[in-house]
Amino acid sequence: MSLRPTRGLVHLFGRNIAQNTTAQRADLRRRIGIVFQDFRLLDHLTTWENVALPLRVTGRRLSDYREDVTELLKWVGLGDRMHAFPAVLSGGEKQRAAIARAVIGKPELLLADEPTGNVDPQMARRLLRLFIELNRLGTSIIIATHDYQLMSQFPAPRMQLENGRLEIYE
C-alpha cells in the first residue's frame, strides 16, 4: 500500500514523491535505510542473511559483499552470532542486526527509531559513532529517541515534537 499526500508537497532527493512511478518508488526505497524499533528481522534467515538481504535483493553478487557483511557484523559485536537465527538473539543483538542491515547498503538517508533502546550504554555510544561516521561520509540521519542524555553527547541539530509543533535546535 502506498499513501500519497492529501495536500501539500513532499520532496525527497529533489523529487516530488507524489509523482513517482512504481519503479521510482522502488529506487527511492533503496536509497533509504530504516532501523525499526521492533527490528523486523526475517525469522527464517540467519543474522548474516538478514544483514545481507538489502544487497542481495538489488542483484549484487555474493562475492562482492560477503566480506563487508561479515566485517560489519563483527564491528557491531555480532561476529559470533552471524549464523544464529533471530529467535535465539537477545533484544540488543536483534537491534544491532537491524542497524547493520539498515546501513550495509550505504543509504543516502537513514531513519532510525530508538536505535539504541535495547543495548547497553557502551554499545549505544559505539552505534552512535557508526551513525556519525556514516553522516561524515554523506548519509543524512534522522534518529527518533527519548534518550536525551545519550544524544547530548553528540553534537547534531535536534528536532523536538511537542504539542503538535516541531521545533528545530541547532
pLDDT at 74: 96
The pTM is what? 0.86
| Residues 76-134 pLDDT 10s | 999 999 999 999 999 999 999 999 999 999 999 999 999 988 888 898 888 888 899 99
Contact 29, 107 (CB under 8 A): no
Q: Which domains does the chain have, with CATH numbers?
A: 11-169 (3.40.50.300)
Tell which wins on pLDDT, 50 or 28: 50
Tell which wins on pLDDT, 149 or 105: 105
Which three three-digit cell numbers place residue 134? 556514516
β-strand partners of 165: 162
Q: How far apart are the first and last CA of the chain?
A: 36
| Mean pLDDT value of segment 126-149 | 90
Q: Which of 101, 111, 120 is nearest to 145 (CA)?
A: 111
pLDDT at 135: 92
| Residues 44-74 pLDDT 10s | 999 999 999 999 999 999 999 999 999 999 9
Angle formed by the axes of helices 47-56 and 91-103, nearest 10°: 20
Contact 115, 36 (CB under 8 A): no
